[in-house]
Structure 1
Amino acid sequence: MTGDRTLRVQGGASHREARGAVFAVRLGSRCAPSRASPVAVLPRVIRILPPRRAGLASSAPYSATPVNLYTLNGNRMFDRAQSTIANVDPEIFAAIEQENRRQEDHIELIASENYTSPAVMAAQGSQLTNKYAEGYPGKRYYGGCEYVDVVEQLAIDRVKQLFGAEAANVQPNSGSQANQGVFFAMLKPGDTIMGMSLAHGGHLTHGSPVNMSGKWFNVVSYGLNENEDIDYEAAEKLAQEHKPKLIVAGASAFALKIDFERLAKIAKSVGAYLMVDMAHYAGLIAAGVYPNPVPHADFVTTTTHKSLRGPRGGVILMKAEYEKPINSAIFPGIQGGPLMHVIAAKAVAFKEALSPEFKEYQQKVVENARVLAETLVKRGLRIVSGRTESHVMLVDLRAKNITGKAAEAALGAAHITVNKNAIPNDPEKPFVTSGVRLGSPAMTTRGFGPAEAEQVGNLIADVLENPEDAATIERVRAQVAELTKRFPVYR
């Protein structure tokens, strides 16, 4: 460091001299300059290489030490021009840059992942993170909440409009906490709940024995019939026999449309509440391309990321009569101060989802999923339930004599990201599995259409047929690189 405004980097360039230049960021290996990421587009920022460390071979030409913001003519910690991630913490900046490069260069097919807009990320990175706001709009335990009240009320109003809900709580920090909020408000430990079996595509929070929901409540599970659709008749018999206080609908690995109206009738017949966890399908539901559970359910929970394409967080929608107990369950029941910066990002995402463009996007999500599934079937793979009617599909790999774990690794080497997933009645262990779960939201966000979805399906099949062949992996990786270059995430 040679002054209050000049950062010397190896190679002689100063901060002033290097304005507008882009240097590579190294974290253990040489890497070329990448496309600008949302964290690296600020003006007059150099991408700084952290000091070389013993054992980390690299031929990268630049290195620098972090800027000491307390020695630059006083405290510059809050100077936006100086206090960048690159200046303050090159190691974290390098990791963020590498993750940005991974997202740009890999085809993302994990059904629960998507790309948020720069506007959503800007809201989440705003000064609202500084504000404590225990309570609800107009009823806070802290002063100075007049502007965060505006933010939270906008989020509430927009999500109610988006799904046609009577009431909403936008404070849950996750989908799991949204589910817990409903349980905490409406149930007592030892009550009986009924949810979809995790082994048949349900979710941990719907009564799995390893989850709080399975430890606090008596759980009855329903599943799939011989056609791998939800066995509604069996579910009705279970409800009549066990008289659950609450029935949970929704899934994490189920491709068909769920008959929420039928499940609501089953719940009503035994005097049970119906809670729908629509986390995976929320974006499709908002766009009208998947059945809306809100008219039928007492409570509807969701995440705000996945197909909804917002920040990571949760929401509870409910009938107006349940607003007070749900609000009390979230605060002060299971959470303290809300994350106002995340709620702002939720509000931005809800506004985006209310646009005509979002509906068009979700229509493309469903079409791309259909084409991807049909392509895989043509290549000899089986889709659980025979097809997809949503954004997600579960692929049975047994015909290719490969496990989900091995398929995930081989596809990852080819820069196609998936997750291993159990299929119904899977003989393999949960960390091995006989299937993979695929989803179309992320690839559709980056602009893929039916032609690209078909190409991706063929690339997947190529890898699964030759998972240990280096030449196949390299060829597929090259085609992935061509696709991702044509369709960047952030421009």
Structure 2
Amino acid sequence: MIWSIKDIDELLQKHIAYRESCLNLIASENYSSPTVRNYLTSDFGNRYGCYVTLKPEEREYRGNKFIHEFEIATQKLVGEVFKATYVDLRPIGGHMAGVATVLGLLSPGDLVFEIHLKDWGHGLVGPMRTVSHFNQTIRVDSIPFDEDRMVDLDNLLKMIHEQKPKMIIFGGSGMLFPEPIKEVKAIAQQEGIILAHDSSHVTGLIAGGVFPNPLDEGVDVMFGSTHKSFPGPQGGFIASRNLELFEKIGNTLASALVTSHHLNRLPALAVAMLEMKKFGRAYGEQVIKNSKALGKAMEECGFKVVGARKGYSETHLILVDVREFGGGKKVSLQLEEANILCSDDFGQLDNEIRIGTAEVTRRGMKEAEMKQIAELIKRVIIDKEDIAGVAKDVSNYARMYLGCEYSL
């Protein structure tokens, strides 16, 4: 129970001490620098940023002239980093940015192709259809994948010819390798198909120039979050080079989905963008090196790593098939007991765990440390050592890496 400031401080300190004793391998999380975190406390957090119109300078809300100036400058900075002509920072999360994209660009009865949850998709349109109105107006089918978790291009092209979707949404939460956007672009243009990319997981790698920029590859709209491989504050964005589509999405986003858009995150986001401009390539390259090294080390320890034939990963994560050890939920819970944090596959097939390298990379770990991490996981899952003993070793190891590299 919280009765006082002391109670709040004690609970927060417990959380900080706990997390500092853990190896955080959750691919949807990252460690923001102290500088980024400090900027979350600005006076912007007490202000109400009017949401109407795409242009901040035209929004009618009193006392916001410098907030408008700051938002415009941050839009330009984000556009520079992601090579986008138009940027909207009003989504307060990547999922909201995706919902606005779908609702803004589709008509009743349109068909969408997206990545299914069982293939580590974000589950955008599928879950939207649990709302009866959307279930009656939006149709959805799943992008096919092969055994290496790469898009099955031949089958996807066949589906496009046969079903004529209105929109294809690439990008997911288990993305190991770049997708065949260029190969799909020609038929998309011919058939009038909108290509979108949910970049939430790879925004940091795109910013660093180590993962293909979806806008360069040919997508019409890129949307995502700013707190996964991108080490910024929690929030979302929409980016495009197509003004017509951008305006449709923006007019749907606000005021139907967003009113106040949590202005306190904008200064922190700007700092994180500056960090990526300066350190993004070095950071991104090390993230991918660490993913490959961890995949190799996990395989050498006796685990089945998805995509091993293709080099394990070209992103910030690896996927490990753990069916022989009881499934993803069981394994992830055992690892959590040992202070090793990762994700299971959210109650879908329960086949895999997802392991991310973004935060441990920011903390200063490199390829040699990935071998140590794989060995610690092996001690829990394969060797079945006493979990309390492994947890103690993990805590001691994690506390050796409490810095924050690639930061201002």
TM-score above 0.5, yes or no: yes
- Superposition deviation, residue 116 in structure 1: 0.9
- Asked if structure 1 preserves the Cα contact closer than 8 Å seen for 2:26 and 2:356, the reply is yes
SS at match of 2:234: coil
- Asked if structure 1 preserves the Cα contact closer than 8 Å seen for 2:39 and 2:267, the reply is yes
Residue 177 (1) aligns with residue 102 (2): no
Q: Which residue does 1:188 correspond to in 2?
A: 107
Amino acid paired to 1:282: T
- Asked if structure 1 preserves the Cα contact closer than 8 Å seen for 2:220 and 2:242, the reply is no
Q: More relative contact order in 1 or in 2 (CA 8 Å, sep 6+)?
A: 2
Q: Which residue does 1:452 correspond to in 2?
A: 369
The structure whose Rg is larger is 1
Q: Which residue does 1:367 correspond to in 2?
A: 289
Amino acid paired to 1:159: V
SS at match of 1:486: coil
- Superposition deviation, residue 235 in structure 1: 1.0
Tell me which protein shows more helix as a share of its residues: 2
1:450–1:270 distance in 2 versus 1, CA, 3 Å: same
Amino acid paired to 2:337: A
How large is the Cα RMSD of the aligned pairs?
2.1
Alignment of 1:342-353 (within 5 A): 342-353=265-276
- Asked if structure 2 preserves the Cα contact closer than 8 Å seen for 1:204 and 1:211, the reply is no
Residue 327 (1) aligns with residue 246 (2): no
- Superposition deviation, residue 276 in structure 1: 0.5
- Superposition deviation, residue 384 in structure 1: 1.6
Amino acid paired to 1:413: E
- Superposition deviation, residue 406 in structure 1: 1.7
SS at match of 1:358: helix
> Which consecutive unaligned segments of at least 5 residues does structure 1 have?
1-26, 28-49, 51-64, 67-88, 423-428
- Once residues 185 and 382 of structure 2 are traced to their aligned partners in structure 1, the CA distance between those partners, rounded to angstroms, is 44
Q: Which residue does 2:146 correspond to in 1?
A: 225
Structure 1 window deviating more from structure 2 (304-313 vs 204-213): it is 204-213
Q: Deviations for 1:280-315, whole angstroms, at most 9, x for unmatched residues?
A: 011111111111101211100010110111111100
Which of residues 385, 388, 399 in structure 1 aligns to 2:313?
A: 388
- Once residues 214 and 355 of structure 2 are traced to their aligned partners in structure 1, the CA distance between those partners, rounded to angstroms, is 24
Q: Which residue does 2:340 correspond to in 1?
A: 416
Which of residues 396, 399, 404 in structure 2 aligns to 1:485?
A: 399
- Asked if structure 1 preserves the Cα contact closer than 8 Å seen for 2:204 and 2:230, the reply is yes
Which of residues 334, 340, 351 in structure 2 aligns to 1:434?
A: 351
Q: Which residue does 2:60 correspond to in 1?
A: 141
- Superposition deviation, residue 434 in structure 1: 2.2
- Once residues 439 and 311 of structure 1 are traced to their aligned partners in structure 2, the CA distance between those partners, rounded to angstroms, is 18
Residue 397 (1) aligns with residue 322 (2): yes
Amino acid paired to 2:314: E
- Asked if structure 1 preserves the Cα contact closer than 8 Å seen for 2:57 and 2:69, the reply is no
* Aligned-residue identity in percent: 27
- Superposition deviation, residue 435 in structure 1: 1.5
SS at match of 2:364: coil
1:269–1:165 distance in 2 versus 1, CA, 3 Å: same
Amino acid paired to 1:402: G
Which of residues 220, 231, 234 in structure 2 aligns to 1:312?
A: 234
- Once residues 388 and 404 of structure 2 are traced to their aligned partners in structure 1, the CA distance between those partners, rounded to angstroms, is 25
- Once residues 39 and 130 of structure 2 are traced to their aligned partners in structure 1, the CA distance between those partners, rounded to angstroms, is 32
- Superposition deviation, residue 196 in structure 1: 1.6
Amino acid paired to 1:270: E
Alignment of 1:229-248 (within 5 A): 229-248=150-169
Which of residues 458, 463, 468 in structure 1 aligns to 2:380?
A: 463
- Asked if structure 2 preserves the Cα contact closer than 8 Å seen for 1:276 and 1:300, the reply is yes
SS at match of 1:437: strand
- Once residues 490 and 366 of structure 1 are traced to their aligned partners in structure 2, the CA distance between those partners, rounded to angstroms, is 18
Q: Which residue does 1:157 correspond to in 2?
A: 76
The alignment's TM-score, normalised by the length of structure 2, stands at: 0.91
SS at match of 2:149: coil
Alignment of 1:33-182 (within 5 A): 66=4, 89-134=5-50, 135=52, 136-182=55-101
1:323–1:257 distance in 2 versus 1, CA, 3 Å: closer
Amino acid paired to 2:350: T
> Which consecutive unaligned segments of at least 5 residues does structure 2 have?
none
- Once residues 144 and 327 of structure 2 are traced to their aligned partners in structure 1, the CA distance between those partners, rounded to angstroms, is 23
1:102–1:276 distance in 2 versus 1, CA, 3 Å: same
- Superposition deviation, residue 210 in structure 1: 5.9
SS at match of 1:333: coil
- Asked if structure 2 preserves the Cα contact closer than 8 Å seen for 1:277 and 1:300, the reply is yes
Structure 1 window deviating more from structure 2 (239-248 vs 208-217): it is 208-217
- Superposition deviation, residue 214 in structure 1: 6.8
- Once residues 120 and 396 of structure 2 are traced to their aligned partners in structure 1, the CA distance between those partners, rounded to angstroms, is 34
Amino acid paired to 1:417: L
Which of residues 116, 125, 139 in structure 2 aligns to 1:197?
A: 116
Amino acid paired to 2:261: P
